[in-house]
């Protein structure tokens, strides 16, 4: 046990040493456009178009705005506000997520709001927080008492490990989380992701990502549910 503890402590110490300079490479404004092929057992094969803008107003505050159009007839808008605090080692941030998902195919609105605390170093980023969900029926009557469902407490988590420092011209990361850019799942519904980017030239970046979504993990009989493949580019101003 002591050996395991010593090894883990050594790895963490090494990560903090390498994380001396927080320069995470997100000091400039960016806009990204990505295409996705996605499949799940409910919506079958579908494609998504993602547009994202990163707006780092100053070293202490950034905002991200994201929108997704899906051929499954689902439209998602996300705004993230992220105050940041540079520490001697790494960076701490507050993650404020507002997501609205217009599920037109089912005439349902899914609104989620979350607040989390994150800490990132060159090789690791961790976020932990809470979010609430409100699902509402588009056809609801203002006179009915069954207009919406509120799920007030959900845990959100995200653990991502990077192969290279985050300001490197290329990177590969592996992530487990119950939230991604356009969905916030319940706590017991993890998403497994691998993401990569490559800076082709100064202003242009290529992005790749793959996601696997099982269902029934944690006290159901786990099985495959869906997968998403993503590619696109980012322009860095």
Partner 1 sequence: MIMQKKIYYIALALVLSACASKDSSLDIAGMFSSNGEPVDVRFKQSKAYNDSVDEIHLNVASDNYTVYVCTDSHITRKSHKNLDYFMAQYKAAESPKVAVHLGDLINAQQNFACADSILHFAGQTVADTIFVTPGNHDLYFKQWTEFRSFFKTGTYWFDTNNGDKKLDLFICLDSGDGTLGVDQMNWLRTLLADKAKEGYRRIIVFTHTHFWKLDNSQGHTSNYSMEETYELTALFAKHGVEFVWCGHQHARQSVIFKGVNYLVLDATKDEESGQSYMTVNMGESAIYHYHNYPK
Given the rule CB under 8 A, which residues bind partner 1?
1, 40-44, 103, 105-108, 110, 135, 137, 139, 145-146, 148-154, 183-186, 188-189, 213-226
Within 13 A of 6's CA, how many CA atoms are on the CB side?
3
Q: Which is nearer to partner 1, 62 or 181 (CB)?
A: 181
Query: Smallest distance from the beta carbon of 139 to partner 1, in angstroms?
Result: 7
Q: Which of 166, 96, 167, 86 is nearest to 127 (CA)?
A: 96
End-to-end CA distance of the chain: 49
Least Å distance, CB 138 to partner 1, is 9
Angstrom distances, CA of residue 142 to CA of 102, 112, 138, 233, 234 = 19, 21, 11, 44, 43
CB 80 within 8 A of CB 52: no
Nearer to partner 1 among residue 224 and residue 235 (C-beta):
224
**Residue placing its CB nearer to partner 1 in the complex, 21 or 44:** 44
Shortest distance, CB of residue 223 to partner 1, whole angstroms?
4
Beta bridge partners of 139: none
Q: Quick one: tokens of 124? A: 């690791």
**Min dist. Cβ of residue 217 to partner 1 (A):** 6
Q: Which residues pair with 30 in a beta bridge?
A: 54, 236
Q: Which is nearer to partner 1, 219 or 237 (CB)?
A: 219
Q: Find the shortest distance in angstroms from Cβ 42 to partner 1.
A: 5
Distance of alpha carbon 77 from the chain centroid: 13
Q: Which is nearer to partner 1, 21 or 73 (CB)?
A: 73
């Amino acid at each position: 046990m002591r050996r395991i503890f010593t090894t883990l402590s050594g790895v963490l110490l090494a990560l903090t040493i390498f994380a001396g300079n927080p320069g995470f490479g997100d000091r400039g404004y960016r806009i990204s456009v990505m295409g996705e092929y996605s499949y799940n057992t409910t919506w079958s094969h579908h494609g998504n178009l993602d547009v994202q803008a990163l707006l780092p107003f100053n070293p202490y505050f950034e905002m991200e705005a994201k929108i997704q159009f899906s051929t499954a007839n689902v439209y998602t808008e996300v705004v993230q506000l992220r105050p940041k605090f540079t520490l001697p080692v790494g960076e701490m941030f507050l993650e404020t997520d507002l997501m609205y998902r217009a599920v037109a195919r089912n005439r349902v609105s899914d609104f989620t709001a979350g607040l989390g605390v994150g800490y990132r170093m060159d090789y690791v980023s961790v976020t932990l927080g809470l979010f609430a969900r409100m699902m509402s029926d588009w056809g609801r009557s203002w006179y009915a008492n069954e207009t919406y469902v509120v799920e007030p407490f959900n845990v959100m988590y995200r653990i991502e490990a990077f192969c290279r420092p985050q300001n490197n011209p290329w990177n590969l990361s592996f992530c487990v989380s119950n939230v991604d850019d356009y969905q916030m799942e319940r706590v017991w519904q993890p998403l497994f992701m691998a993401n990569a980017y490559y800076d082709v030239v100064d202003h242009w970046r290529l992005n790749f990502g793959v996601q696997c979504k099982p269902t029934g993990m944690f006290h159901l009989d786990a099985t495959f549910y869906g997968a998403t493949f993503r590619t696109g580019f980012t322009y860095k101003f």
